[in-house]
Amino acid sequence: MTAARPDFRSSEFLRAHSREIMAFYDPVATDPDGGMYHFFLDDGTVYEQRTRHLVSATRFVVTHAMLYRITGEERYRRGVLRALWFVRTAFLDRASGGYAWLIDWHAGAATPLDATRHCYGMAFVMLACAHALQAGVADARGWLAESFEMAEQHFWQADAGLYADEADSGWTLTGYRGQNANMHACEAMIAAFRFTGEHRYIERAEQLAQGICQRQAMLCGGWVWEHFHADWSPDWDYNRHDRSNIFRPWGYQLGHQTEWAKLLLQLDTLHPAPWHLPCARRLFDTAIEKGWDQAHGGIFYGMAPDGSICDDSKYHWVQAESLAAAALLALHTAEKRYAHWYERIWDYCWTHFVDHKHGAWFRILDGANRNHTREKSNAGKVDYHNLGACHDVLMALQAHDKQRL
Rounded-to-integer distance, Cα 120 and Cα 115, Å: 14
What pLDDT does 44 receive? Answer: 97
**H helical segments located in 211-370:** 217-218, 254-270, 276-291, 316-333, 336-352
Q: For residue 114, what are the CA distances in angstroms to 98, 118, 374?
A: 12, 10, 26
pTM: 0.98
What pLDDT does 244 receive? Answer: 76
For 276-294, give one letter per residue: b (16+ CB within 10 A) or e.
bbebbbbbbbbbbebbbbe
pLDDT under 70: residue ranges of the chain: 1
Which are the catalytic amino acids?
Answer: 256, 385
Q: Which CATH architecture has domain 12-399?
A: Alpha/alpha barrel (1.50)
Rounded-to-integer distance, Cα 184 and Cα 190, Å: 10
Rounded-to-integer distance, Cα 208 and Cα 191, Å: 14
Rounded-to-integer distance, Cα 204 and Cα 348, Å: 36
How confident is the model over 8-26, as pLDDT tens digits? Answer: 999 999 999 999 999 999 9
What pLDDT does 261 receive? Answer: 98
Residue whose C-alpha is closest to residue 299's, from 221, 309, 247: 309
What pLDDT does 1 receive? Answer: 58
- Number of residues assigned to the chain: 405
Query: Dihedral, CA atoms, 279, 281, 282, 286, nearest 10 degrees?
Result: 150
Residue type, 212: I
Residue type, 102: L
Asked if 301 and 254 touch (Cβ cutoff 8 Å), the reply is yes
How confident is the model over 322-375, as pLDDT tens digits? Answer: 999 999 999 999 999 999 999 999 999 999 999 999 999 999 999 999 999 999
Region for 229 from its dihedrals, namely left if φ exceeds 0, alpha if ψ lies in -120 to 50, beta otherwise: beta
3-state secondary structure of 228: strand
